[in-house]
Amino acid sequence: MDMKVSKKLGLKERYTMMTRDLAWDTTFQPMDKVFPQVGYEGIKIHDWDQWEDPFRLTMDAYWKYQAEKERKLYAILDAFNQNNGHLSVTDARYMNVLKLFLGSTPPLELMAARGFSMVARQMVGAGPRVACMMQSVDEYRHFQTQIHSISNYNRFYNGMDEFAHQQSRMWYLADGKSFFDDAITAGPFEFMVAIGFAFEYVLTNILFVPFISGAAYNGDMAAMTVGFSAQSDEARHMTLGLECIKFMLEQDPDNLPIVQRWIDKWTWRGTRKLASVGMMMDYMLPKRIMSFKEAWEIYFEQNGSALFNDLARYGVKVPKCFAQTIEEKEHITHQSWIGFYMKPDACPFHTWIPAPDELDWLSEKYPNTFDKYYRPVLEHFDRQEKAGNRFNNKTQPMNCQVCVSTIKFNEPGDPMEMCFRETVYKGEKFHFCSDHCKEIFEDEPEKYVQTFISSHAALQGKCEPDGTDVNAHDYRPGARMHAYWRMDKRAAGDFNGSEDQKNFAQWRDQATKN
């Protein structure tokens, strides 16, 4: 009989057996050939074993929890759809939030899925590899559940049907695309700072909370359930991002300046990307949760300060852009909405002038800026619209070479002046929306000269639907942009008088009256 005494494994020991004990240092192939990308960014790692697993989840437990979540989620989606849940949202303007979300978010979650697969392949340590591959499949979950939750809305409302086609073509989606293209084309450590830390840790609440709470506040149980269901995944992703920063900083003091530069860069890039989320909060949600300014104060100023206080022991400073974002929080959402309102032919979602009580809400939430700078503009547009003279900007926008936002934000310290910056590189002039974007360019000009800016590319004949002969004598560049975008004109322009508005009213009557 076997008299051997059973060894009892502690949780940590057991998890180690289940993950990093599986790995080995290769000898038939050199390690730097098996993991070729970990060196070139200049990050020095001396001991991968020092990585602290931010969570300990073996695959059996992962499948168990995730399967439970998926079962519930899809049951709710099915029930919501079967019961015409779309008619229970606050008002049909809400659909435009979904259009903005579908165009901007699932395609970026997809990039996160692929990006985390890449980092999972490239990290030498088994600890970070396992955490990254888990995040990669989580990101598949997120873009798929988002598409599934909006799929039923697409059957009834215009402007959602071509999101897959538009993700790489639509001018206003280029800021998000450039953000993720930038991260995924960087090395594995910069990707982790960009997505794992700056996006998932510092900024995720500003993206996530408004959309999901917005869904909850506006009766969209489908999107709300997707969001709540993703929350526990997000908690894991946040701890991974933070652990990665700490790991790099603990490994070698030489890593600090590199990491600091990335934190500065990516916090700013993320901030620019979030301007449209703020616009959604302040202008597009029929029932508002809080203002963007309030969200920025809670999630960025307060929580962000606490985080950077915690990181101060490693020598990390608050991101360079911190003060500027605080000044901008009272401006960017208004500037963004006005910018979109002025382009009624060029976006697959509707815009409108806020109702009088909504203007008053904005005055109350933005006492320093709204009445002074933005209410007069909106009221002017409103008068012009009612007089049959709706403002329509048909020109190509000027875009920032780094963040690809249309240049529309104000000069720091002067809300009445637009901010322009430029630099000359190899004899060519490049334009920026801000000092921060200019600095990002100047750190890596060879990368950012490549930026795809559709307002330029269209004039070069590069944005044409299939079958266009750019050498034809009557060819006019950019004349067929709607076909290139596959944009449904019913989805564009004013909400008032739109097909969505009429259908929603009619269907709601059908569902609620005899």
Residues 398-427 that bind another protein (CB under 8 A): 404
Nearest-approach distance from CB 486 to another protein, in angstroms: 6
Q: Does 145 bind another protein (CB under 8 A)?
A: yes
Which position among 50, 368, 389, 450 is part of the footprint of another protein (CB under 8 A)?
Answer: 450
Contact indicator for 469, 475 with CB cutoff of 8 Å: yes
Taking Cα atoms as reference points, which of 296, 356, 366 lies closest to residue 331? 366
User: What DSSP state is assigned to residue 84?
Assistant: T
Binding track over 452-491 against another protein, x by CB under 8 A: x-x--x----------------------------x-----
Residue among 50, 90, 185, 389 that touches another protein (CB under 8 A): 185
Of the listed pieces 90-98, 147-155, 261-269, 303-311, which binds another protein according to CB under 8 A?
147-155
Question: Would you say 351 and 340 are in contact if contact means Cβ atoms under 8 Å apart?
Answer: yes
Q: Is 63 in the site for another protein (CB under 8 A)?
A: yes
- Is 51 a binding residue for another protein by CB under 8 A? The answer is no
Instruction: Indicate the residue among 82 and 471 with the shorter CB distance to another protein.
Output: 82
The CB-of-161 to another protein minimum distance in angstroms stands at 5
Nearest-approach distance from CB 438 to another protein, in angstroms: 17
DSSP string, 291-349: -HHHHIIIIIIIHHHHHHHHHGGGT----TTHHHHHHHTTTHHHHHHHHHHT-TTS-SS
Site for another protein in 93-112 (CB under 8 A): 106-107, 110-111
Q: What is the DSSP string of 35-57?
A: STTSSTT----S-GGGPPPS---
Number of residues that bind another protein (CB under 8 A): 98
Q: Using CB under 8 A, which of 131, 160, 223, 279 touches another protein?
A: 160
The CA distance from 162 to 159, in Å, is: 7
CB nearer to another protein: pick between 139 and 200: 139
CB of 80 to another protein, least distance (A): 13
Of 363-392, binders to another protein (CB under 8 A) are none
Residue 421 pairs in a beta bridge with 432
Structure tokens at 305: 């300060």
For 387, half-sphere exposure in the C-beta direction (CA atoms, 13 angstrom radius) is 8
404 contacts: CB under 8 Å, gap ≥ 6: 174, 175, 177, 178, 451, 453
Which of 56, 88, 91, 148 is in the footprint of another protein by CB under 8 A? 148
Query: What is the nearest approach in angstroms of another protein to the Cβ of residue 475?
Result: 20
Q: Which is nearer to another protein, 186 or 307 (CB)?
A: 186
Token duo for residue 107: 């395609």
Shortest spacing between CB 459 and another protein, in angstroms: 15
Nearer to another protein, 72 or 386 (CB): 72
Nearer to another protein, 107 or 493 (CB): 107
Helix, coil or strand: residue 256 = helix
Q: What is the nearest approach in angstroms of another protein to the Cβ of residue 28?
A: 4
Per CB under 8 A, the list member of 12, 71, 372, 383 interacting with another protein is 71
Smaller CB distance to another protein: residue 88 or 410? 88
First-to-final CA distance of the chain: 80
Find, among 401, 405, 411, the residue nearest to 442 by Cα: 401
What's the gap between Cα 175 and its chain centre?
9
What are the tokens at 126?
């088994």
Q: Which of 12, 44, 72, 114 binds another protein (CB under 8 A)?
A: 114
The torsion angles phi and psi of 374, rounded to 5 degrees, stand at: -105, -35
CA pair distance 9, 18, nearest whole angstrom: 11
How near is the Cβ of 416 to another protein at its closest, in Å? 32
C-alpha span between 95 and 86 (Å, rounded) = 9
Contacts of 375 (CB under 8 A, 6+ apart): 359, 362, 363
- The nearest distance, CB 241 to another protein, in angstroms, is 19
Q: At closest approach, how far in Å is the CB of 1 from another protein?
A: 9
Counting contacts by CB under 8 A, is residue 181 touching another protein? yes
Nearest approach, Cβ of 154 to another protein (angstroms)? 6
SS3 158: coil
Residue in 136, 239, 333, 335 binding another protein, rule: CB under 8 A: 136
Burial class (CB in 10 A: 0-12, 13-18, 19+), 271: buried
Nearer to another protein, 126 or 238 (CB): 126
Does 513 bind another protein (CB under 8 A)? Our answer is no
